[in-house]
Chains A and B, each alone.
Chain A
Amino acid sequence: MSLRRDFARRRNTGILALLVATVIFILPFLYIFLMAVKTKQEASLFLFNWPSEWQAWQNLVDVVQTRNYMLLLAYFNSTVITVGAVTLLVIFGAMVGYVLQRRPSGWNKLIYACILIGLMVPPAIVPTIWVLQGLGLFKTIHGMIFIQVAYGLAFSVLLYRSFISTIPRDLDEAAIIDGAKPWQVFFKVILPLLKPVTVTLIVVQSIAIFNDFTNPLYYLPGKENVTVQLTLFNFQSQFQSQYNLLFMNILLVTIPPLLVFIFFNRQIVAGMTSGAVKG
């Protein structure tokens, strides 16, 4: 008897959880999708209803063709910035975290303070632009990559440092005894072991950088330097907005991060659990 009741209770909580998840995650997405396939007259009503006239293909073509295929250029730029910045973040974050964790010295406290400052103090825009201008990096894609690396590095170092402390030192020593050079110890022994935390970092940072709006807005002016989030301004302005195209654009912009998540989903879960066991 009690077993059956137990089963019923579990089933009900399961259904309830699914319902809550649907409301929180699926409904907004469905709303974006429905708005994206409406005509602009219907979209301006902001109703959650089935479109009376499907215009998905036309809206898609309109959005892609706007301002001389600006969206495609934006995808390219955003991809370059995201891949470049995340690669540098992983390499430098792991290196700094490794050295900080393995080599206790008097400097560590100072370095640690600098990292915390990097995490906490908000950056000022105009002085940063002066620095970029002085270095000849303003209005360039690689300048933008360096900005993203600078903003994200503190977080990655902290993440790597605490993860590396769970890797036994014996592994380093064994490798050195076997004749590995210092860079071989890092790249051949330690870095592969960091895979779980690296995957987490890739997902977190690439979504943050891909979705970044304000930094490209100020640091990367110029019409050939556009990033995906900035293309939203093509359809939304102070006085007049085309909401069907705006939502279609949002839909298109949401797809790449979604793919990253689906692609890495298994590894993220694996990364979380392996980290949990190691404590």
Chain B
Amino acid sequence: MKTLRYSAVMAAAIAWTSGMAQAELTLSVLIDNNPETIASMEAVTAAYTAANPEVTFDIEQRAGGADGDNIVKTRLATGEMADIFNYNSGSLFQALKPQETMADLTAIEGQANVLDSFKQVVTAPDGTVRGVPFGPAMGGGIFYNRKIYADLGLTVPKSWDEFMANNAKVAEAGKVPVITTFGDTWTSQLFVLGDYFNVQAEVPTFAAEYTANKAKYASTPAAMRGFEYLEAVFKANYMNEDFGVASFEDGMRMVATGEGAHYPMLTFGIGTVKQNHPDSLADLGFFAQPGPDAAKNGLTVWMPAALYVPAASPNAEEAIKFLNFVASVEGCNTMIGAAGASGPYLIKGCELPADVPPAVADMLPYFQTEGMTAPALEFLSPVKGPALEQITVEVGSGIRPAAEAAALYDQDVEKQAKQLGLPNW
């Protein structure tokens, strides 16, 4: 009798707490562990909870890079994904089979604010949009030291010939013209990947034909130029002496403090300078990778990651309401306030503050003029070979000539295209 009464009380208690849980919803969020991502997400969730006190968030962090890919894929496959998660857009997004695993976000209110250039990199093969942008866009180009440029009276180059002429003057002055950091092999790819604006300015159909196995790096002179640039820099002996072992951190230090003049890199490097050399931040400048034609120079852009809702989420409705907030101007301003502005956000009407670091300010004009930016190839085509960084290290170290390297890279991507089951490979 006693146990019966006890269990009745227990049942009532359980019913009561579950009633509470329905009124007060907790959304789980899985994000990568970049300091900027964490700061943005914490700020934007706090702002949302302040406006909607019944919704709280449980933020969990995961690794980035290859480990992160595995975690996201494993959790989607086993149905253990959080209600909201962030992940790369472009070809990595396509690899998650978005049409099966993610909720359709085409018609949600927030999409009205998202720039079309971003929508195309989170569109599933069936034509539906599956994500909203989270974080600033990055540019791939060349960092330069403003002090060296001022001292030597140089101007920002628009064409490759001007760039090499600047390098000659820098070398004469006894500084390193092009900082090269093959200790972190991924940094070697920038001349090839960052050149994509110039490639598509010359061959507008390259991405589509490349995916369809019609255009090749080795047979398209515009595309092969990226490899030739690496070779030219090596042959002119414009690199730092320790180029084989220097790391990404070394590279950012050298270009910020004026040990070297140029460093081809993505703009997220600004954050590293802000952390390790805050005094040199004002000396850091940025320009797009120069191409053959000064009149047709523009910036290759890496799109930000996106937030997605898994198709299996039981709280999809509330999660989508939150995404509407993230894609609003208010949400965008909240994130800029928390993480600083290292690049433009792809939300209509979301302006960056006036006091951004000079390297960011250098990047903005490209975005303000129509046709001055193009997404990097990896956002337009799912074909990217795994061995590119090894091949570019070989070219940049003078081990393999550019033409041979381009042909080798064409072979490398073939494996991946076949794995993806693309037609015509």
Contacts and interface: CB of A to CB of B under 8 A. Distances in A.
Contact of B253 (A44, A67, A138, A223): A44
Contact of A41 (B70, B271, B276): B276
Contact of B34 (A40, A46, A238): A238
A125 B71 CA distance: 11
A241 to B, nearest CB: 8
B249 A233 contact: no
Contact of B80 (A139, A233, A234, A240): A139
A167 B80 CA distance: 49
A221 B61 contact: no
A41 B277 contact: yes
A96 to B, nearest CB: 31
Given A129-B78, A218-B71, A237 B276 contact: no
Contacts of B70: 218
Interface string A23-40: 000000000000000001
Interface in B64-103: 64-65, 67-68, 70-71, 74-75, 77-80
Contact of B33 (A125, A221, A234): A234
Contacts of B75: 221
A220 B68 CA distance: 14
The contact size tier of chain B is 20 to 34
Contacts of A187: none
A221 B64 contact: no
Given A41-B276, A126-B78, A233-B33, A46 B71 contact: no
A221 B60 contact: yes
**Which of the listed residues A40, A217, A221, A234 has the most CB atoms from chain B within 10 Å of its own CB?**
A221
Contacts of A112: none
B229 to A, nearest CB: 24
Contacts of B58: 223
A239 interface: yes
B32 interface: yes
A138 B80 CA distance: 10
A221 B63 CA distance: 12
Contact of A233 (B61, B79, B253, B272): B61
Given A217-B71, A221-B80, A223-B58, A233 B276 contact: no
A102 B34 CA distance: 56
Top 10 nearest A-B pairs (CB, nearest first) are A238-B64, A223-B60, A44-B276, A237-B34, A237-B33, A129-B78, A239-B268, A44-B249, A238-B65, A41-B276
